[in-house]
Structure 1
Amino acid sequence: MVAVAILAAGRGTRMKSDLPKVLHQLGSCTLVERVLKSCVSIQPSRIIVIVGYRGDLVQKSLQNNSNDNIPTVEFVEQKEQLGTGHAIQQLLPYLQEFSEDLLVLNGDVPLLRPETLKQLFDTHKENQNSATILTANLPNPKGYGRIFCDANNFVTQIVEDRDCTTAQKQNHRVNAGVYCFSWPALGKILPELKADNDQQEYYLTDVVPLLNPVMAVDVNDYQEIVGINNRKHLATAYDILQIRVKDDWMAAGVTLINPDSITIEDTVSLERDVIIEPQTHLRGQTTIGTGSRIGPGSLIENSQIGTNTSVLYSVISDSVVADNTRIGPYAHLRGNSQVGSHCRIGNFVELKKAKVGDRSNAAHLSYLGDATLGEKVNIGAGTITANYDGVKKHHTKIGDRSKTGSNSVLVAPVTLGEDVTVAAGSVVTKDVEDDSLVIARSRQTVRKSWRLKSSEDNE
């Protein structure tokens, strides 16, 4: 068994924000949510988040974080932020009966891969270490304390950068700030920590010389240990995450045209032979089926796109589009809309909470809100469903094979049966039965020999 402690008490003053640092977004997740998800691979028995500045917000953000592979998150308050050692000291009353291992993570180090933490934990268990430290070999380790090890990766010395000799500075192995401890060994030492430093803080690194054996595990990709202290770091982390995600998808058979202009969150799922055009952004719980072409210039969020479907210069959120359908250009689907197969939702068409049956078309300049369309329906240019009476939203239903003429207004609640034709320019306010033509407009009147008088005529 292993317990996980996530350090999330700091304010992060360099973020220049009232929001706790760990609640800043990195893609679709907050920093601390990403750290939490990285724990899944080791199947922790307990997860404890140590909170401080605006801890109520951190607690609220994680209370609904459900995952079948991890336990319910516990929270411990660190009223004063006096260093990493002080933070772990807060666990002493909560882990009195605990006799297993403790993994310590930082809530502002969001790029650790689950397999990295599993390697760290497995190494710790296999060697029965008192402590195992995650380390990284940085190209430029200036400012970082160095970790020195023997040939078997057992830690022999930790030296701060300012105390390193010229020879010691040639060592590029640094402490990543991620630890796995034997809790019984650590629990005995924690009360003895002292704040004998300029900052008068209790450092977790001070316990390492007091434990034996201590081993280092090098991370394969040093970028995994990037920490977030300011907005620039946040942007850097996002770039790293994007490169990681896009490289993985291209290796899996997805074509990205001009990858630098595309963003794909790591919650998105793509099938083989999908093509993503420039200036396209895929977010949230989005899935795209094989053979589909998305973009250029499209935004898709929390939506499911079928196979062999195209989305051009359009925005789709919280909606479902079936196979072999064309969306756009400049269409907007939102509010849990559903579009069937072999459909066309075209230029400047907006769907809101609308369900469109197979082989139906709305090609131009239409708004369909709170509507259900059957199969093989054709919506003429400029058709709208007037769904709002000023107080409530109302529903429109259009049967199979029905057609609306240009500039039709369907005033909800209203139902059109099957095989109904609505004459152009009609305002339909009552239900229409099957096999009908509805004309709801005044008769055209022409007055001969009439013209608008000019201002000179009036004078």
Structure 2
Amino acid sequence: MTQDIVILAAGKGSRMKSAFSKVLHKVGGIAMVRRVLTTASSLPESKLHLVVGHQGEQVEANCQDFSANIVWQNDPQGTGDALRRVAPFLQKNGATLTLYGDVPLISASTLQKMTALSNPNTLVLLTICLENPMGYGRIVRNEQGKVTAIVEQKDATESQLTINEVNTGILLAPNNHLQGWLASLTNKNAQGEFYLTDVIAMAARDGVDILTVNPENEAEVAGVNDRVQLAALERELQHQQAVSLMKNGATLLDPSRIDVRGELTTGNDVVIDVNCVFEGKVVLGAGVEIGPNCYLKNCTVGDNTIIKSNTLIEDSKVGENCDIGPFARLRPGTQLANKAKIGNFVETKKAIIGEGSKVNHLSYIGDTEMGANVNVGAGTITCNYDGVNKHRTQVADNVFIGSNTSLVAPVQVADGATIAAGSTITKQVGENQLAFARARQTNKDNWPRPVKK
């Protein structure tokens, strides 16, 4: 069946004590509502509706790439009220799946189990049994075990409060019945709100089959009301991701000390030490080793490369069998060919480093194209910025650059050239030439050292 998917994201979230919408707070580096939208988008034949209210402009702007139908709920009066506002946009046939922007870990597989049961005379509920059901609506069943109603905590009788099967809020209802049920909702309850859960009793009354599905784990249906719950879901997600990485062939020296805030793909025999953070999309080839306290964002790393401790890599491409760090920083636009080496306290930016080239320590290489088998001595910098514009440095193959060299761009160094230590290079160096550019040294006899005043 075709599906309307409604994501409720209009709540104020006052317990977050935040200047921006609750559903925009991140779990695993991604806004909660975007996680829900991404999962919903994976279901076939679906039309997305996003219900916004408090700080709705923020939510709409953050989610515009999903092409969801935006429905406003400026004066929220419950979940039923939200669905009533979406009702004019629902397809005549098919079914409507209701999700929540602050329940970010719901899985596509669970939703697929629900949609597999969908038909014009079936309502599907996602329920779960909890040891402590406090605060949740209870699932009421008759003697035959069929669901007859959902009773909210504040409206439940003493006997109903003993029920531990609870409503998660996620349901799939056939549109041919849902429109009438929504029109019949009232707010005659302890909260004075229109409960979407009231449609369950209506479905039972109308002879509609009510089926239940259970999630794989409790975290799937856990919502976020404050930052404590947000942190708990963050840890749960990181645990899930760590388990997945290890099952995929990666070794995590401490699975509780890794943070994946995006998408991390690993080849076989990857080893990741403690306190590493991965953001955006990161791909690690087979045999990659990453030392402690590293940060990688939107980058690819080739097979058997070693990244030593306290290294930062962002928006870069690293080849195979490279050696990087410790304390190195690869800024956006860096490309390392196979067997390149970037040593301690080296920074690169928009730099193409050729195969087997080495920038071992204490250097800055920016806006540079460097060939193969180049050796860059300590303290070398490319002077790429004139105060207004950036300029490129071009270094050919087999060049030797002595320590403490300044390459003032734009400048070219040809194949096989050698630059003497301490030189400031401002013009082209030809093939196999030796370039040295130093001030003449002067020595003074009997020079008095300064004394402290």
Q: The TM-score by the shorter chain falls in which range?
A: over 0.9
Quote the residue 1:236 is aligned against: 232
Among 336, 340, 349, the residue aligned to 2:337: 340
- CA distance in structure 2 between the partners assigned to 1:254 and 1:452 by the alignment: 59
Alpha-carbon distance, 1:451 to partner: 3.3
> For 1:60 and 1:297, how far apart are their aligned partners in 2?
34
Is 1:158–2:147 an aligned residue pair? no
> Between Structure 1 and Structure 2, how many residues are aligned?
447
Aligned-pair CA distance for 1:386: 0.9
What CA deviation, in whole Å up to 9, does each residue of 1:336-356 have, x standing for no partner? 211111111011000111110
CA contact (8 A) 2:357 2:373 kept: yes
Residue from 96, 120, 129 that aligns with 2:114: 120
Contact 2:28 2:259 in 1 (8 A): no
Q: Secondary structure at the match of 1:442?
A: coil
The reply on whether 1:93 has 2:88 as its aligned counterpart is: yes
* Superposed CA RMSD: 1.9
Provide Cα deviations, 1:203-236, integer angstroms capped at 9, x if missing partner: 1011110012222111121221010111111111
SS of 2:428's equivalent?
coil
Query: What is the identity, as a one-letter code, of the residue corresponding to 1:180?
Result: L
**Contact 2:32/2:101 (8 A) holds in 1:** yes
Query: Which residue of 1 is the match for residue 179 of structure 2?
Result: 187
Match of 2:172, SS state, is: strand
**Identity, % of aligned pairs?**
39
Equivalent pair of 1:153/1:216 in contact (CA under 8 Å): no
Separation in structure 1 between the aligned mates of residue 170 and residue 155 of structure 2, nearest angstrom: 22
Aligned to 2:12: 11
Residues 267-287 of structure 1, C-alpha deviation per residue, up to 9 Å, x if partnerless? 111111101111111221001
Q: 1:48 corresponds to which letter in structure 2?
A: H
* 2:31 alignment partner in structure 1: 30
Q: Deviations over 1:274-310 (max 9, x none)?
A: 0111111122100101101112111111111111011
Paired AA for residue 114 in structure 2: L
- Report SS of the residue matched to 1:287: strand
1:80 is matched by which residue type in structure 2?
A: D
Q: Which residues in structure 2 correspond to 1:5-404 (within 5 Å)?
A: 5-65=6-66, 72-95=67-90, 98-125=92-119, 128-149=120-141, 154-161=146-153, 168-211=160-203, 212-265=208-261, 267-313=263-309, 314-404=311-401
What is the one-letter code of the residue matched to 1:90? R
- The CA deviation at 1:168 is 4.5
Matched AA of 1:33: R
SS of 1:219's partner is coil
Does structure 1 retain, via aligned residues, the 8 Å contact 2:154–2:190? no
TM-score (structure 1 length as normaliser):
0.93
Gaps of 5+ in 1: 66-71
List alignment gaps of at least 5 residues for structure 2: none
The change in CA–CA distance for 1:7 and 1:442 in structure 2 (over 3 A counts) is: same
Q: What is the CA distance between 1:76 and its match in structure 2?
A: 1.2
CA contact (8 A) 2:150 2:198 kept: no
1:43/1:367 CA distance change after superposition, 3 Å: same
Residue by residue over 1:309-338, the C-alpha shift from the partner in whole angstroms, topping out at 9 and shown as x without a partner, is 111120111111111011100000011211
How many Å apart are 1:166 and its aligned residue?
6.1
Rounded to whole Å, the distance in 1 between the matches of 2:345 and 2:450 is 38
Letter of the 1:92 partner, please give it.
A
Which shifted more, 301-310 or 158-167? Answer: 158-167
The CA deviation string for residues 354-382 of structure 1, in whole angstroms up to 9 with x for no partner, is 11011000011000111111111111000
Provide the rounded CA distance (Å) in 2 between the counterparts of 1:91 and 1:455: 80
What is the CA distance between 1:18 and its match in structure 2?
Answer: 1.7
